Amino acid sequence: MRTEILKLVENEKIIAIVRGIQPEKCVSVAEALYKGGVHMMEITFDQSKPDALENTTASIASVIRKFGKDIRVGAGTVMSAEQVQMAAKAGAEYIISPNTRESVIRETLRLGLVSMPGALTPTEAAFAHECGADFVKIFPSGNLGPGYIKALKAPLSHIKFLGVGGITPENIPDYLNAGCAGFGIGGNLVSASWTETGAYEKITEAARAFCRAVGR
């Protein structure tokens, strides 16, 4: 499983970030993404609502039941080892966080999942890699620009970076040239207004645009 996910990230490069969507709508979102060529989907925990964390695991499980391995599902905004365990139990294959926390990385690897913690500085990125991270998410990339990724890659060329935050089809080529191995795309791909109104065809159109931007 780990090998498959690692190859998929590097080959397809796009992970859709699905945030704040109820389980019953996640399957429709997944279908729209699949039609557009996106086969990786991060479903996030809402840390502001501890009593609703089960919604994330329910969404993960529902997408996996429907699509099997056609869509590879991960958990996002994972902040504790306990949440790693919850996500793994639901079937998540990779764990994404906004920060670098050693216990989260270690538990992810112990369970045989792929680790994608978030970092900002060279020190954080290097520490995440030392803890065993498979990819390091640079967040928020859009505020920093591709020049920042390029600067990080100069001394840290052994680390695989994911660009997350403010990524568009138009700026993806610059981030690829800067050295990004892949991208996490949230509102520019899975817009809350589209899901609220059932405009799933717009998600499919956006997915196709992002796929074209990475040369797929």
Residues 148-196 pLDDT 10s: 999 999 999 999 999 999 999 999 999 999 999 999 999 999 999 999 9
Closest CA to 56 of 66, 71, 43: 43
Any alpha helices (H) in 36-156, and if so which ranges? Answer: 53-67, 81-90, 102-110, 122-131, 141-144, 146-153
For residue 37, the number of C-alpha atoms closer than 13 Å in the C-beta half-sphere is: 16
Res 24: pLDDT = 85
Tokens 């996640």: give the residue.
26
Query: Percent helix, strand and coil across the chain, each rounded to 5?
Result: 50, 15, 30
Supply the angle between the helices 53-67 and 81-90 in degrees, to the nearest 10. 30
| CA–centroid distance for 101 within its chain | 17
Q: In this structure, what DSSP letter does residue 112 have? A: T
71 phi, psi to nearest 5 deg = -125, 125
**Options 42, 93, 107, 202, the catalytic residue:** 42
Taken as a whole, the chain contains a residue count of: 216
Res 95: pLDDT = 98
Res 172: pLDDT = 98
189 phi, psi to nearest 5 deg = -120, -45
Two tokens, residue 2: 């780990």
**Options 13, 31, 93, 137, the catalytic residue:** 137
Two tokens, residue 52: 């609703």
What is the CATH topology of the domain spanning 2-213?
Answer: TIM Barrel (3.20.20)
Rounded (10°) CA dihedral 30, 31, 33, 39 = 70
Res 102: pLDDT = 98
Angle at 149 between CA 130 and CA 97, to 5 degrees: 50
Burial class (CB in 10 A: 0-12, 13-18, 19+), 12: middle
Spatial separation of the C-alpha atoms in residues 65 and 209, rounded to whole Å: 27
161 phi, psi to nearest 5 deg = -100, 145
Active site residue 137: yes
| pLDDT < 50 stretches in the chain | none
Res 50: pLDDT = 82
